[in-house]
Amino acid sequence: MTPRAWGMLLVLCGAIFLEGINVAMLNVALPAIRADLGLTTGELQWVISAYVLGYGGFMLVGGRAADLFGRRRMFLAWLAVFLVVSALGGMAGEGWTLIAARFVAGVAAAVMTPAGLSIITTSFPEGPQRNRALLVYSGTAAGGFSLGLVLGGLLAAVNWRLVLFAPAVLALVILALAVPLIPKTPAERPADRRVDVWGALTITAAIMLLVLGVERAAHVEIGWTAAIVAAGLALIALFVVIERRSPAPLLRLGILRSGPLVRANLAGLLFAGAFFGFQFIAVLYLQELRGWSSLETSLAMLAIGADAVLAPTLTPRLVDRFGNAKVIVGGLVLAVLSYALFLPIGTDTVYPAMFPTMIILGVAFALAYGPLTIVATEGVEESEQGLAGGLLYTSFQFGAALGLAASTAVIVAVTDGSDPAGLLGGYRAALAVPIAAAVLAAVVSASGLRKEPVR
């Protein structure tokens, strides 16, 4: 690659790194936010879920907007929005204002993230060069997560508001570098540049209802839960009808005829649900049951960031030798193992007994995340690369929201009192969520093993 191509890739990696530290730092700061703003466990979950709902709900719109109105333009504009709302979130004085700021930040990320991914997939030719770029990209996201854990612990120990101000400062630096390094390309002028607003509203409302139904399951009667979930499913059906009739659909349904693309999105949804559910459980266990500080929690989970090194080094070799499908399945099987190893946790479990979970999960992430990104965008027309990226990240964020909601619902339903034994029982029961999700992801991915061409 030319120096300018490397510069462009590094800027785009900086943006996904920003997204990684943004999520990781806030997760570690959750107990401090709860104490300062007086949030319940259910409200605390929405500090994260508001972001992933805005992210997942508007991702298809963001991806399609990048295809229609210019990838560079959408990337730069919404990076600036992300910068502003992150700073505003750091100034929040009440829980609802922080949740609202997180939602808008999620919407901003929903546009800039698929725009950045589609700049990579349209700038590098399909094959080894693009695969290498995507694996470096995914490894950088992991690096953001691992570094974000440590930075989040350090900043939260001073003041949790710094956890929101730091991404704003980094976004400003990336924006200043992106303007000269991301090249301008001839403006695309499709015959129809309309955005399917009704489709966007319908799918966003559907996601919100489904997550709300799962999260409130432990607090309301089963009839209400069934009604909310049914309403969410009905809106998904309505979304399909709208897309079939729309002259400019948000999601061209024909793209879903690709078996590898569908499997990658389903596996990504389940993988993200498992990972975010586990992370939520682990943070609560370490800080609220064991009494560990934010920094101690960060360092305990730092081993998960091993994929920042493995993704661009080991994973490409494995993909070249075994193919994407086998590497993905291997990563998902390791994820199941890592979550299962956390089941014996107790009120006095020493860290060396937790370490296998953290390091194996880091390897699992390295093997699954990057290849899933490759499969989800491979073979897609250049004019729909933004759509493909938006679809994948929608799956990731929808899965994350459901994983968080399901884990929270189990903890609330099973936890008996505030004594250590009661809390521990709730956390152990909630581990069934990431284990089951990872198993399903492995099964979905394994169904495509015989269909991948032999290398």
Q: What is the pLDDT of residues 302-321, one digit of tens each?
A: 888 788 788 888 888 898 88
Per-residue b or e along 102-115, where b marks 16 or more CB atoms closer than 10 Å to that residue's CB: bbbbbbbbbbbbbb
Q: Chain-wide mean pLDDT for the chain?
A: 84
Contact 63, 114 (CB under 8 A): yes
Mean pLDDT of 79-85: 93
Q: How confident is the model at residue 454 (pLDDT cuts 50, 70, 90)?
A: very low
Instruction: Flag whether pLDDT at 57 surpasses 80.
Output: no
Of 58-67, 416-425, 445-454, which range is least confident? 445-454
pLDDT grade for 455, boundaries at 50, 70 and 90: very low
Cα–Cα distance measured from residue 428 to residue 431, given in angstroms and rounded to the nearest whole number: 5
Q: Outline where 246-384 has alpha helix (H).
A: 259-284, 294-301, 307-322, 324-341, 351-377
8 Å CB contact between 280 and 404: yes
Is pLDDT above 60 for 453? no
Q: For the packed helices 259-284 and 41-69, what is the interaxial angle rounded to 10 degrees? A: 150
Best-predicted range by mean pLDDT among 42-51, 126-135, 431-440? 431-440
Which of residues 73 and 197 earns the better pLDDT score?
Answer: 73
What pLDDT was estimated at residue 452?
Answer: 52
**pTM of the entire structure?**
0.82
Region 171-180 average pLDDT: 91
The pLDDT of 280-301, averaged and rounded, is 85
Dist CA 432 CA 70 (whole Å): 43
Q: Is the pLDDT of residue 201 over 90?
A: no
